[in-house]
Amino acid sequence: FHGNAGNISHRLEKLNTLHNLGVDTFIIDYRGYGRSEGTPNERGTYADADAAYSYLTGQRALPAKRIVVFGESLGAAVAVDLAGHVPVSGVVVEEAFTSVPDMAQRMFPILPVRWLVRNRYDSLGKIAGVNAPLLAFHSRDDEVAAFAFGQRLFAAAREPKRFVELRGGHNDAFVVSAEQYVAALREFFTGL
């Protein structure tokens, strides 16, 4: 599940990384993103994730033990929500945040924005419900989702879990830290 900016066509480098690891991928654009119709909102992104999961387990007949949910930034919140109510083999989150209210308060610290946001994406409140191995990537240099958000989310998650600190910005840490990133993914997928 991709982040808030862009669409699936902007994830080709990441898809290539996964392909080179021998991982089959299925990526979607949420409603209102890319060529998908509709208007984006929290409930809609969760419904889109549920539809993708239903497609894989229903029409494609993939067993849940072969599905790893992978989300970056906003997509990490979508992945956490999905993995909290369906069985999956594992969860990967990258440059995740705790909630939209936390993000808004960080951006506007003196305003009461925490109470004004409509979309909550409360990953911190949902992560304990994920009953699958977790791999979390986060860069200390992330200029969008604070490193502390990734640490708090990770701390609230169940075991087994692994936190990998990357270097680089919100959107390029997986490139800047490519060697470490790929090695951690390879180890995670091999261990499932």
Query: pTM for this structure?
Result: 0.97
Span 64-114, pLDDT tens digits: 999 999 999 999 999 999 999 999 999 999 999 999 999 999 989 888 888
Assess whether 170 carries a catalytic annotation.
yes
Ranges of the chain with pLDDT below 70? none
Q: Which tokens go with 135?
A: 């791999």
User: What pLDDT, on a 0 to 100 scale, did the predictor assign at position 67?
Assistant: 98
Looking at 73, 123, 139, 177, which residue is catalytic?
73
User: What pLDDT, on a 0 to 100 scale, did the predictor assign at position 1?
Assistant: 97
Cα-flanking dihedrals φ and ψ of residue 70, to 5°? -125, 125
Looking at 81, 123, 170, 177, which residue is catalytic?
170
User: What pLDDT, on a 0 to 100 scale, did the predictor assign at position 14?
Assistant: 95
Three-state SS string across the chain, please? Answer: CCCCCCCHHHHHHHHHHHHHCCCCCCCCCCCCCCCCCCCCCHHHHHHHHHHHHHHHHHHCCCCHHHCEEEEECHHHHHHHHHHCCCCCCEEEEECCCCCHHHHHHHHCCCCCHHHCCCCCCCHHHHHHHCCCCEEEEEECCCCCCCHHHHHHHHHHCCCCEEEEEECCCCCCHHHHCHHHHHHHHHHHHHHC
Cβ neighbours around 20 below 10 Å, total:
10
- pLDDT above 90: percentage of residues in the chain: 92
Looking at 123, 139, 142, 177, which residue is catalytic?
142
User: What pLDDT, on a 0 to 100 scale, did the predictor assign at position 61?
Assistant: 98
User: What pLDDT, on a 0 to 100 scale, did the predictor assign at position 165?
Assistant: 98
Pairing of strands 90-94, 161-166: unpaired
CB 91 within 8 A of CB 130: yes
In the block, residue with structure tokens 């392909």? 19
User: What pLDDT, on a 0 to 100 scale, did the predictor assign at position 141?
Assistant: 97
